[in-house]
Amino acid sequence: MSMYREAIRAYSTRTMLTDLVRRIAPYRSTFLLATGIRIIGDVAWLYPAIAVATILTELSKVTAASSSVILTVFFWWGVAIAVRALSRSWSSYLGFHVSERAKLDTEREALQHLTLLDMAWHERESSGAKMKRVSAAAQGVDRVIRMWFTLLVSISVTAVGVLIIVSRIDPTLSVLIVVFAIIYFTLALILGRRAAATSLAVQKEEEVFNGVVYETIANVRTVHVFDHAREALSRLDALLSGVVGKVQTRIQAYQFRSFVLFACAQTFLIGSLLFVGIQIIDGHYELGLFALVYRYFGQIWDAAGELADFSQEFMTSKLSLARLSEITRTPPEGVSDERFDMPHDWKEIRFDDVSFSYGETVALSHVSFSVRRGQKVGIVGSSGAGKSTLFKLLLKERSAYTGEIYIDDIPLRHIRRSSYFEKVSAVLQDTEVFNISLKDNVTLARPGLSSDEHVRNALKTAHVSDFAERLPEGVDTIIGERGVKLSGGERQRLGIARAVFKQPELLLMDEATSHLDSDSEERIQDSLTRFFSGVTAIVIAHRLSTIRAMDVILVIEGGQVVEQGSFDALIAQGGRFSELWSKQSL
């Protein structure tokens, strides 16, 4: 229950309704039309009970006019059936269109927010758990809007209509119906909250379980190569037992709720029919009232049950949206500080006393250096020295650093992300690719620039053409999820082609040729040297030979810049760089 209360406090019913209205707003006209059509059909469906009551009354006291009355009743009964059927179909067609669009909008909005969140947040959450949250919330939006048309409108019309009709016959009966509805709904709400709390516990367990499932599937090659399937399945089995336990608790809660509500409804039904039967025997009412009350009580019972179902689904959907809101309420790091565009004619990038830590672990400590526009800067150091962390700051993946990184005199944290990345491109250690064509994986770096000439130039520079010709459909070949049809070196070349295609002003390369053999690396380095002539490049290199031609080389150790200078100058110093060079030259 504590998890439930925590979620409720953070995400109130008012907040959820506001969110739903916001998601429905773009389709307001369709929503209102569908609601109006549904109301017409539900009003018509109040007539069959009146029809049955009228027919029974006429049959109990047959007169000369009975045949005419009964035929007229059957005619209007048929009309009510037709109106009901048409309204249900038409309103569902229109209303479900709104629910599907709102569902897709929810998923898109969540994805958009996820792309803005700091990488530190993403590293704390598994992909499977994030997908589960987004999917559950989107389905919750879809469910609630659908139930508005299939349940809530009908419940409202039935409740109001029945009370008006019955109160005109006998106010006592209307009071009985109101008391029943209040007690039934109160029980449903209380028991529903307890059941919903168990649903939240199940969802949290499923998020963890789905995270492991996704991780296993995403790394299926490693699972296969290292025969890790048994261990992965054992881990899933351990998690599964927790999920099953929570599911059993949820089933028990909902079954107990169903039992109590059924007993309540049957008690009131028998009491109401007993009251009406006595009144008929005493001559106060005609026989038709018994059928009318039985039919309308059944409709009220159905309405109360449907309202209970709606409240149950509403609470479940609310909890799903609450889980998503934990993501959407997380503010993107530093976005509120972004108020400047990247200077068009920028001259310098400057690190000024920059420090950064992963928790208690210091990654960068008081780093200061500058890069003039057009310079080629190499960064070297042992593993864990802080090289990749420096790139994370330059790529605006982390903003919780002290000191400042300046583009001219503007702090990087104050430059708009979209403006910055119009001029910046990167090739990282592991190139992430999409399940689209090879060509589209390259051109996504700059969608507005997709001429064949630019594509050919990028493919040639990165020597992607060498292997693209061997693919079944050349550059139009779909390369599979996570690029499974390509080798590590081929994916890395694709990443280089993507960066070249963007034609950036600033190019960041993090061990961009580490997966290539020596011959391929040498050919690509020759091509990149020509490409570098038009850009500012900052290159992290494991193989020191790849940065020999750099204007400046920075040596980072223990999160600090310990040496900087040209290749020849650093060799002449006989310091840390010279030591690293000697080791690689052996």
> What's the confidence (pLDDT) of residue 522?
66
| 3-state SS assignment for residue 462 | coil
Please state the length of the chain.
Answer: 586
Clarify whether residues 130 and 216 are in a common domain.
Answer: yes
**Domains: count for the chain:** 2
Clarify whether residues 77 and 8 are in a common domain.
Answer: yes
Q: How far apart are CA 328 and CA 109, in angstroms?
A: 9
Clarify whether residues 160 and 276 are in a common domain.
Answer: yes
Residue 343 — φ and ψ, nearest 5°?
A: -55, 135
Clarify whether residues 307 and 357 are in a common domain.
Answer: no
Clarify whether residues 295 and 344 are in a common domain.
Answer: no
Q: Domain range holding 73?
A: 2-328
Clarify whether residues 344 and 322 are in a common domain.
Answer: no
Locate 233 and state its tokens.
């399945």
> What's the confidence (pLDDT) of residue 43?
94
> What's the confidence (pLDDT) of residue 4?
47
Q: How far apart are CA 72 and CA 203, in angstroms?
A: 54
- Cβ atoms within 10 Å, residue 290: 17
Clarify whether residues 98 and 244 are in a common domain.
Answer: yes
Q: How far apart are CA 128 and CA 363, in angstroms?
A: 29
Locate 127 and state its tokens.
């992909």
Domain boundary among 328, 357, 390: 328
Tell me whether residue 433 is in a domain. Answer: yes
Report the predicted TM-score, pTM, of the whole model to 2 decimal places: 0.65
The 3-class secondary structure across 162-223, one letter per residue, is: HHHHHHHHCHHHHHHHHHHHHHHHHHHHHHHHHHHHHHHHHHHHHHHHHHHHHHHHHCHHHH
- Pairing status of strand 552-557 against strand 506-510: unpaired
Tell me whether residue 479 is in a domain. Answer: yes
> Measuring CA to CA, which residue among 499, 276, 510 is closest to residue 381?
510
Q: Which residues of the chain have pLDDT under 70?
A: 1-10, 218, 221-222, 224-228, 333-337, 448-450, 482-483, 512-527, 529-530, 585-586
Tell me whether residue 334 is in a domain. Answer: no
Domain boundary among 328, 348, 371: 328
- Pairing status of strand 506-510 against strand 402-407: unpaired
DSSP string, 381-446: -STTSSHHHHHHHHTTS----EEEEEETTEEGGGB-HHHHHTSEEEE-SS----SSBHHHHHHTTS
Distance separating the N- and C-terminal Cα atoms of the chain = 65
| CATH classification of the domain holding 451 | 3.40.50.300
Clarify whether residues 83 and 133 are in a common domain.
Answer: yes
- Cβ atoms within 10 Å, residue 22: 12
Clarify whether residues 33 and 131 are in a common domain.
Answer: yes
Tell me whether residue 80 is in a domain. Answer: yes
Tell me whether residue 333 is in a domain. Answer: no
Q: What is the pLDDT of residues 465-494, one digit of tens each?
A: 777 778 788 878 887 776 677 777 788 888
Clarify whether residues 370 and 307 are in a common domain.
Answer: no
Strands (E), 445-586: 506-510, 536-540, 552-557, 560-565
| CATH classification of the domain holding 197 | 1.20.1560.10
Clarify whether residues 559 and 428 are in a common domain.
Answer: yes
Q: How far apart are CA 179 and CA 158, in angstroms?
A: 16
> What's the confidence (pLDDT) of residue 35?
96
Locate 362 and state its tokens.
């210091």
Tell me whether residue 540 is in a domain. Answer: yes
Q: How far apart are CA 319 and CA 17, in angstroms?
A: 13
Q: What is the pLDDT of residues 493-522, one digit of tens each?
A: 888 888 888 888 998 988 766 556 666 666
Domain boundary among 298, 328, 358: 328
Clarify whether residues 391 and 294 are in a common domain.
Answer: no
